[in-house]
């Protein structure tokens, strides 16, 4: 297994020290300070890799899931919910590691173990606090053991090469000078990012990418992030078939109708040879335990592909016999090389 330039592969992410936590809390909330903090934290350039799978190569046609699991309160239930659909690749976002609200669990590793898959996990944010009011009721402790929140990939086959792409290094959720809307009471070091993997198939290598674009921004900001992501993918996997999946936050913070059609990243991708045909129609948000928004109807989650055929599968509702699992439905597709 290889890593892309600037990405370090580890068996467990390097934990932040108490001194580093205090430094973050005491720091001035500017983009320049954030750059310094980001560079001082090894986990921000690491991917945690583990798990085991049951295949050496993917077949010509296979199922893929992409799911924002909203912290992943219930890793075992979430894995069981996916199991009947037998995805060979799962692209995950909003996954906790060492957070009190999710019982200090390594949620990506737990889902991988339950599904019998390899995993790679990267940090989006280091979160200092326990979360919002609806999250605190789930907290098992008054502290976070790690404070990691990020994205991951589960795969039935071993990874050939991995990369972490940071799409925001200026601290959109930290820097009050760059983003006056940043929460002054909850400093988060980090920013939106993607995890990319090259996987072996019977037809040759492919690239899959799990990503999460900015919610607290406009369409131009997300366009810029997606353009950056496509450039990074091309450098990482030139000429390979590519499947990107995740929460692109399309139409977010555009009241009152959250119209995803105003986003310009769709045409941007088409101009670069990608298509959106593997995404099912329909709203992808729902009421959840953490996000009880009865009236919010948004289409945030997408597959973007190059060099793949296949078909979109119906949305998988994020609710099981015990209740809701996330505020996002899971999107599914079958891809064919």
- Indicate if the pLDDT at residue 252 is higher than 80: yes
- Tens of pLDDT, residues 3-44: 899 999 999 999 999 999 999 989 998 989 999 999 999 999
322 or 252, greater pLDDT: 322
Q: How far apart are CA 227 and CA 214, in angstroms?
A: 13
Q: How far apart are CA 206 and CA 60, in angstroms?
A: 11
Q: How confident is the model at residue 295 (pLDDT cuts 50, 70, 90)?
A: confident
Q: Is the peptide bond before 300 cis (omega within 30 degrees of 0)?
A: no
33 φψ region: left (φ > 0), alpha (ψ -120 to 50), beta (else): alpha
CB-neighbour burial class of residue 24 (10 A; exposed 0-12, middle 13-18, buried 19+): buried
The two tokens of residue 46 are 């690491």
**Which residues lie across from 247 on neighbouring strands?**
212, 301
Q: How far apart are CA 55 and CA 8, in angstroms?
A: 25
- Indicate if the pLDDT at residue 231 is higher than 80: yes
Residues in CB range of 11: below 8 A, 6 or more apart: 48, 49, 50
- Indicate if the pLDDT at residue 177 is higher than 80: no
Q: How confident is the model at residue 262 (pLDDT cuts 50, 70, 90)?
A: very high
User: Strand 148-155 relative to strand 161-166: parallel, antiparallel, unpaired?
Assistant: unpaired
Which pLDDT does position 296 carry in this prediction?
81
Which pLDDT does position 179 carry in this prediction?
73
- What does pLDDT average to over the chain? 95
**Which residues lie across from 82 on neighbouring strands?**
none
Taking the CA atoms of the chain, what radius of gyration do you get in angstroms?
Answer: 18
Say if pTM beats, i.e. exceeds, 0.95: yes
Q: What is the 3-state secondary structure (H, E, C) of the chain?
A: CEECCCCEEECCCCCCCHHHHHHHHHCCCCHHHHHHHHHHCHHHHEEEEEECCCCCCECCEEEEEEEEEEECCCHHHHHHHHHCCCCCEEEEEEEEECCHHHCCCEHHHHHHHHHCCEEEEEEEEEECCCCCHHHHCCCCCCCCCCCEEEEEEEECCCCCEEEEEECCCCCCCCCCCCCCCCCCCCCEEECCEEEEEEEEECCEEEEEEEEECCCCCCHHHHHHHHHHHHHHHHHHCCCCCEEEEEECCCCCCCCCCCCHHHCCHHHHHHHCCCECCCCCCCCCECCCCCCCCCCCCCCCEEEEEECCEEEEEEEECCEECCEECCCECEEEEEEEC
31 near 189, Cβ under 8 Å? no
Name the superfamily (CATH) of residues 2-336: Endonuclease/exonuclease/phosphatase (3.60.10.10)
Residue 311 C-alpha from the chain's centroid: 22
User: Strand 161-166 relative to strand 193-201: parallel, antiparallel, unpaired?
Assistant: antiparallel
């Amino acid at each position: 297994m290889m890593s892309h330039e600037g990405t370090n592969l580890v068996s467990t992410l390097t934990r932040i020290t108490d001194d580093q936590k205090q430094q973050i809390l005491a720091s001035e909330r500017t983009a320049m300070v954030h750059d310094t903090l980001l560079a001082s934290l090894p986990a921000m350039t690491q991917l945690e890799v583990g798990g085991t799978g049951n295949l050496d190569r993917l077949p010509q046609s296979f199922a893929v899931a992409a799911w924002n699991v909203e912290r992943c309160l219930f890793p075992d239930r979430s894995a069981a919910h996916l199991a009947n659909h037998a995805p060979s690749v799962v692209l995950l976002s909003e996954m906790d590691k060492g957070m009190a609200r999710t019982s200090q669990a390594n949620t990506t590793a737990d889902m991988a173990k339950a599904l019998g898959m390899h995993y790679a996990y990267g940090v989006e944010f280091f979160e200092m606090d326990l979360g919002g009011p609806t999250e605190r009721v789930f907290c098992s402790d008054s502290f976070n053991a790690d404070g990691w929140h990020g994205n991951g990939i589960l795969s039935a086959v071993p990874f050939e090469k991995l990369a972490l792409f940071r799409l925001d290094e200026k601290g959109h959720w930290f820097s009050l000078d760059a983003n006056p809307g940043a929460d002054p009471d909850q400093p988060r070091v980090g920013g939106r990012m993607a995890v990319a993997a090259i996987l072996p198939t019977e037809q040759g290598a492919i690239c899959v990418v799990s990503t999460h674009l900015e919610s607290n921004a406009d369409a131009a900001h997300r366009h810029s992030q997606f353009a950056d992501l496509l450039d990074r993918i091309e450098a990482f996997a030139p000429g390979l078939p590519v499947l990107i999946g995740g929460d692109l936050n399309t139409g977010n913070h555009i009241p009152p109708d959250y119209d995803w059609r105003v986003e310009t990243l769709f045409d941007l991708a088409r101009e670069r040879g990608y298509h959106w045909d593997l995404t099912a129609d329909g709203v992808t948000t729902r009421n959840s335990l953490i996000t009880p928004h009865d009236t919010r109807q948004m289409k945030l989650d997408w597959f973007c592909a190059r060099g793949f055929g296949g078909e979109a599968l119906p949305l998988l509702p994020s609710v099981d016999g015990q209740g809701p699992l996330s505020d996002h439905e899971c999107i599914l597709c079958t891809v064919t090389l």
